[in-house]
Amino acid sequence: MDASRPIGVFDSGIGGLTVVRALMERLPLESIVYFGDTARVPYGLKSVATIEQFTGQIVDELMRRQVKMLIVACNTMAAVASATVAARACGVPVLDVIEAGALAAVEESPRGRVGVLGTPTTINSNAYARRIHRLDPALRVVSQACPLFVPLVEEGWLDHPVTRLTAQEYLRPVMAEDVDTLVLGCTHYPLLKPLLKEVAGEGVRLVDSAITTAELAARRLAELNLASTGECTADYRFVVTDVPLRFQTIGERFLGRSLGSVERLEW
Amino acid sequence: MDASRPIGVFDSGIGGLTVVRALMERLPLESIVYFGDTARVPYGLKSVATIEQFTGQIVDELMRRQVKMLIVACNTMAAVASATVAARACGVPVLDVIEAGALAAVEESPRGRVGVLGTPTTINSNAYARRIHRLDPALRVVSQACPLFVPLVEEGWLDHPVTRLTAQEYLRPVMAEDVDTLVLGCTHYPLLKPLLKEVAGEGVRLVDSAITTAELAARRLAELNLASTGECTADYRFVVTDVPLRFQTIGERFLGRSLGSVERLEW
């Protein structure tokens, strides 16, 4: 496979841009095609059958664009549709945010007590607990669905009394289990890191799956001899199914820089 | 046209069931086909082009099911895609929640100072203000987007400190304009009526567009000689594009009774 090909990163919406941001910092020579299904976002409350159908369509589109690696930047898709991704990837290496987050949780938890925060579908799938237990069956895992975090982030209320109160409510049962590590199991949540750090308290580590995914991608590309040699300038493409109101503003909040040109695909 | 045909009611998701509930109470002899695009909900943050495309697909589906009237139970579609609905309705009468809400606001406001609450797309479209001013150009209209109300209702936090704090924040600029009437410009909002009444204070009237839409439908059916004579028992069908987690629970919260059988259409 040609190492100059782009990495394909996909998400149900724009949250996966936090993963793109981490990839740009960790792997500045790599080109990236980002696909966000903004016309059908959010996936976090949809059924497994529908998520599998949508995931298959996205993977097919990225395969047509000849990516050298697929990164599932959406926790919900990683949680319930990883078999669909694998089946359609035709041998292209795949990694996802849950794999990366589970690995980091196991490596970082000092006392083996891990809390996982995510969308209802991610939490109901139990995917984090299963992946963590595959790495270390002795770890204690407590999960909590936080359906309001995504809309709060999109509203821009990153440090707002409403968000603080919501976080206190969601974290109460998790902290009661005396966890030492909290996995941010949704690509929107890294934007709430300062607030969650405060609510969870000093002693608790936060695992940001965007950063851990970029680490894992770097490792995997090196192992497979697929890392870009930097002969061409890194190229970034953003493909979405809808360009909604405030898209640039919200997108740039996630990416941490200007989005440049965005292609809208009409499905 | 055959008066025994069903009324077609549609929404981006399940919020439109508040309109179905009001129709069942006001027009117990009428059969109803409800269409909820649960696979692509919510529409409130999508672009106009995408909303028009989705709306056209829904209207075509309901026309195939031979409805005698179309009710747009989604404020967002009514706000930005009413031309699409009219073009595809092939002469079948159409009414929508914005028309009904605007009419009720004009009739009910004692001092002509109206606040409108809705999703960002509805508010940005300025559709309520335009329809209200068509009826009475002298009315003062203040609009406020409330993007967190839908997720709060779906979380079931109908009387929760987080919801109260959010409502206080959204209503502050509206109440500062001394409004006497508040239009609930989204089908999810009627579930927040008790809380909004409290936050807005005693003197403010709330216009629930579900109830006013059922009133307007009754009036229009009578005028057009299309009211059911009750020869057959009223039949209720629910068609959705996805059956997500907790669908029955949330659906019944909106409908106020059991949903019965639900048909999933795979698009």
Instruction: Read off the pLDDT of residues A190-223 as tens digits, 9 standing for 90 and up.
Output: 999 999 999 999 899 999 989 999 999 999 999 9
For residues A2-29, give the mean pLDDT: 96
pLDDT at B88 over 90: yes
Gap from B43 CA to chain A (nearest CA, Å): 8
pLDDT at B11 over 90: yes
Determine which of A131-145, A233-247, B10-24, B162-176 has the lowest per-residue pLDDT on average: A233-247
Position B42 scores a pLDDT of: 87
Whether residues A152 and B152 touch (CB distance < 8 A) is answered with no
Set of chain A residues whose Cβ sits within 8 Å of the Cβ of B45 = 154, 244-246
CA-based nearest residue to B186, from B9, B12, B4 = B12
Distances (CA, A) of A89 to A19, A56, A127, A138, B252: 20, 10, 20, 33, 40
Q: Is A46 on the interface with B (CB under 8 A)?
A: yes
Angle (CA) B65 B69 B75, round 5°: 105
Q: Is B249 on the interface with A (CB under 8 A)?
A: no
Position A91 scores a pLDDT of: 94
CA-based nearest residue to B107, from B221, B216, B16, B24 = B216
Position A267 scores a pLDDT of: 78
Set of chain A residues whose Cβ sits within 8 Å of the Cβ of B243 = 47
Whether residues A45 and B124 touch (CB distance < 8 A) is answered with no
Q: Check: CB of residue B259 under 8 Å from CB of residue B238.
A: yes
Whether residues A241 and B161 touch (CB distance < 8 A) is answered with no
pLDDT at B55 over 90: yes
Q: Is A206 helix (H, G, I), strand (E, B) or coil?
A: strand
Report d(CA B112, CA B199) in Å as an integer. Answer: 20
- From the list A124, A148, A246, the residue facing B151 with the nearest CB is A148
What percent of chain B lies above the pLDDT cut of 90? Answer: 87
* Binding-site residue set of B: 11-12, 43-44, 75-76, 187-188
Position A95 scores a pLDDT of: 97
Catalytic residue ranges of A? 74, 186
- The residues in B 92-131 lying below 8 A from A, measured between CB atoms, are 120-121, 124
Whether residues A46 and B53 touch (CB distance < 8 A) is answered with no
For residues B229-250, give the mean pLDDT: 87
Left (φ > 0), alpha (ψ -120 to 50) or beta: where does A144 sit?
A: beta
* Position A266 confidence tier, pLDDT thresholds 50, 70, 90: confident
Gap from A35 CA to chain B (nearest CA, Å): 16
Beta-carbon contacts of A150 under 8 Å, excluding residues fewer than 6 positions away, are: A15, A42, A44, A119, A186, A188, B151
Q: Is B244 on the interface with A (CB under 8 A)?
A: yes
* Position B209 confidence tier, pLDDT thresholds 50, 70, 90: confident
Cis peptide bond prior to B190, omega within 30° of 0: no
What percent of chain A lies above the pLDDT cut of 70? Answer: 100
Q: Is the dihedral of CA A37, A42, A44, A50 positive or negative?
A: negative
For residues B228-244, give the mean pLDDT: 91
Helix axes A247-255 and A17-26, enclosed angle (nearest 10): 40
Position B266 scores a pLDDT of: 84
On whether the A98-209 domain is CATH 3.10.129.10, my answer is no
How many pairs of residues across A and B have Cβ atoms under 8 Å apart? 75
Position A191 scores a pLDDT of: 94
pLDDT at B32 over 90: yes
Specify the domain boundaries for CATH 3.40.50.1860 within chain B. Answer: 7-96+211-264, 98-209
Report d(CA A111, CA A196) in Å as an integer. Answer: 20
pLDDT at B245 over 80: no
Q: Is A154 on the interface with B (CB under 8 A)?
A: yes
Q: Is A262 on the interface with B (CB under 8 A)?
A: no
- Tell me which of B14, B41, B119, B148 to substitute to probe the interface with A (most A C-beta atoms closer than 10 Å): B148
Instruction: Read off the pLDDT of residues B132-191 as tens digits, 9 standing for 90 and up.
Output: 999 999 999 999 999 999 999 989 999 999 999 999 999 999 999 999 999 999 999 999
Whether residues A40 and B45 touch (CB distance < 8 A) is answered with no
Question: Is B90 an active-site residue?
Answer: no
Position A75 scores a pLDDT of: 93
Position A27 scores a pLDDT of: 97
Fill in the amino acid letter for B164: R
Q: Is B104 helix (H, G, I), strand (E, B) or coil?
A: helix
- From the list A47, A147, A165, the residue facing B242 with the nearest CB is A47
Set of chain B residues whose Cβ sits within 8 Å of the Cβ of A46 = 38-39, 242, 244
Position B223 scores a pLDDT of: 97
Position A102 scores a pLDDT of: 97
Whether residues A161 and B165 touch (CB distance < 8 A) is answered with yes
- Tell me which of A52, A245, A265 to substitute to probe the interface with B (most B C-beta atoms closer than 10 Å): A245
Q: Check: CB of residue A8 under 8 Å from CB of residue A62.
A: yes
On whether the A7-96+211-264 domain is CATH 3.40.50.1860, my answer is yes
Position A33 scores a pLDDT of: 97
Instruction: Read off the pLDDT of residues A64-106 as tens digits, 9 standing for 90 and up.
Output: 999 999 999 999 999 999 999 999 999 999 999 999 999 999 9
Set of chain A residues whose Cβ sits within 8 Å of the Cβ of B171 = none
Determine which of A74-83, B21-30, B43-52, B88-97 has the lowest per-residue pLDDT on average: B43-52
Looking at per-residue pLDDT, the higher value among B175 and A230 belongs to B175
Position B21 scores a pLDDT of: 96
* Position A246 confidence tier, pLDDT thresholds 50, 70, 90: confident
- From the list A47, A148, A241, the residue facing B152 with the nearest CB is A148
Position A185 scores a pLDDT of: 95
Is the predicted ipTM greater than 0.95, yes or no?
Answer: no
pLDDT at A61 over 90: yes
For residues B121-135, give the mean pLDDT: 95
Question: Is B146 an active-site residue?
Answer: no
Set of chain B residues whose Cβ sits within 8 Å of the Cβ of A50 = 39, 241-242, 244
Position A231 scores a pLDDT of: 85
